[in-house]
Chain A
Amino acid sequence: MELTGAEITVRCLAEEGVEFVFGYPGGAVLNIYDEIFKQDKFKHVLVRHEQAAVHGADGYARSSGKVGVALVTSGPGLTNAVTGIATAYMDSIPLVIISGQVPVPAIGMDAFQEVDTVGITRPCVKHNFLVKDIKDLATTIKKAFYIAATGRPGPVLVDIPKDITQQSHEFAYPETVTMRSYSPVVKGHSGQIKKAVQMLLEAKRPMIYAGGGVVLGNAAAQLTELTKLLGYPVTNTLMGLGAYPATDAQFLGMLGMHGTYEANMAMQHSDVLLAVGARFDDRVIGSPEHFARDARRIVHIDIDPSSISKRVKVDVPIVGDVGGVLDEMIKLIKAGKEKAEAKAITAWWTQIELWRAKNCLKYNHASPIIKPQFVVEKLWEVTGGDAFVTTDVGQHQMWAAQYYKFDQPRRWITSGGLGTMGFGLPAAMGVQLAHPGSDVACVTGESSIQMCIQELSTCKQYHLPLKIVNLNNRYMGMVRQWQEFFYGNRYAESYMDSLPDFVKLAEAYGHVGMKIEKPADVEPALREAFAMKERLVFMDFITDQTENVFPMVPGGKGISEMILAEEL
Chain B
Amino acid sequence: MRHIISLLMENEAGALSRVAGLFSARGYNIESLTVAPTEDATLSRMTIVTRGSEDVIEQIIKQLNKLIDVVKILDLSDGSHIERELMLVKVRAFGKDREEMKRMAEIFRGRIIDVTEKTYTIELTGPGSKLDAFIEALDQSAILETVRTGASGIGRGDRILKV
Contacts and interface: CB of A to CB of B under 8 A. Distances in A.
Contacts of B17: 119, 122
A304 B66 contact: yes
B1 interface: no
B66 A181 contact: no
B35 interface: no
Contacts of A127: 68
Contact of B59 (A132, A179, A310): A310
- In this complex, which of B21, B25, B66, B70 has the most chain A Cβ atoms within 10 angstroms of its Cβ? B66
A443 to B, nearest CB: 33
Interface in B49-103: 55, 58-59, 62-63, 65-66, 68-71
A82 to B, nearest CB: 15
Contacts of A306: 59, 62-63, 65-66
Contacts of A14: none
B21 A122 contact: yes
Nearest to A180: B71
The residue among A126, A132, A180, A309 with the most chain B CB atoms within 10 A of its own CB is: A180
Nearest to A313: B55
B163 A180 contact: yes
A309 B55 contact: yes
Contact of B68 (A147, A304, A305): A147
Interface in A117-152: 118-119, 122-123, 126-127, 130, 132, 147
A112 interface: no
Contacts of A147: 68
A182 interface: yes
A182 B21 contact: no
Contacts of B63: 306
Given A179-B68, A306-B66, A309-B58, 6 more contacts: A119-B17, A180-B71, A181-B10, A305-B65, A306-B59, A309-B55
Nearest to A304: B66
Interface in A527-552: none
Contact of A181 (B55, B62, B71): B71
Given A181-B69, A181-B71, A123 B21 contact: yes
A122 B163 CA distance: 26
8 contacts: A119-B17, A122-B17, A122-B18, A127-B68, A130-B13, A181-B9, A306-B65, A309-B58
B74 to A, nearest CB: 15
A304 B63 CA distance: 10
A310 B99 CA distance: 56
B27 interface: no
B14 interface: yes
Main secondary structure of the interface of B (DSSP, over half): helix
Contacts of A310: 59
Contacts of A122: 14, 17-18, 21
The listed residue with most A CB atoms (<10 A of its CB), out of B14, B55, B59, is: B14
Contacts of B65: 305-306
A182 B63 CA distance: 13
Kindly name the residue among A123, A126, A306, A310 whose own CB sees the greatest number of chain B CB atoms within 10 A. Answer: A306
Contact residues on B (Cβ < 8 Å of other chain), bracket: 20 to 34
Interface of B: 9-10, 13-14, 17-18, 21, 25, 55, 58-59, 62-63, 65-66, 68-71, 163
B38 to A, nearest CB: 14
Contacts of B58: 309
A181 B70 contact: yes
A99 to B, nearest CB: 15
B58 to A, nearest CB: 7
Nearest to B42: A180
A182 B65 CA distance: 9
Contacts of A119: 14, 17
A514 B17 CA distance: 52
Contact of A118 (B14, B59, B68, B71): B14
B6 to A, nearest CB: 15
A181 B70 CA distance: 6
A126 B68 contact: yes
A147 B68 CA distance: 8
A119 B14 CA distance: 9
Contacts of B25: 123
B14 A182 contact: no
A130 B17 CA distance: 14
A147 B70 CA distance: 14
Interface string A176-193: 000111100000000000
A132 B13 CA distance: 10
B62 A305 contact: yes
A131 to B, nearest CB: 11
Contacts of A130: 13-14
A181 B13 contact: no
Interface in A326-351: none
A489 to B, nearest CB: 35
Nearest to A307: B62
Interface in A501-530: none
A305 B62 CA distance: 6
B1 to A, nearest CB: 17
Contacts of A305: 62, 65
Contacts of B18: 122
A309 B57 CA distance: 12
A372 to B, nearest CB: 37
Contacts of B55: 309
Q: Which 7 A-B pairs have the closest CB atoms?
A: A306-B62, A127-B68, A181-B71, A305-B62, A182-B68, A123-B25, A306-B63
A305 B64 CA distance: 11
Nearest to A151: B66
A147 B69 CA distance: 12
Contacts of A180: 71, 163
Contacts of A182: 68
A180 B43 CA distance: 11
A304 B59 CA distance: 12
A239 B60 CA distance: 26
Task: Tell me which of B14, B25, B68, B163 has the highest count of chain A C-beta atoms within 10 A of its own C-beta.
Answer: B68
A317 to B, nearest CB: 11
Interface string A255-283: 00000000000000000000000000000
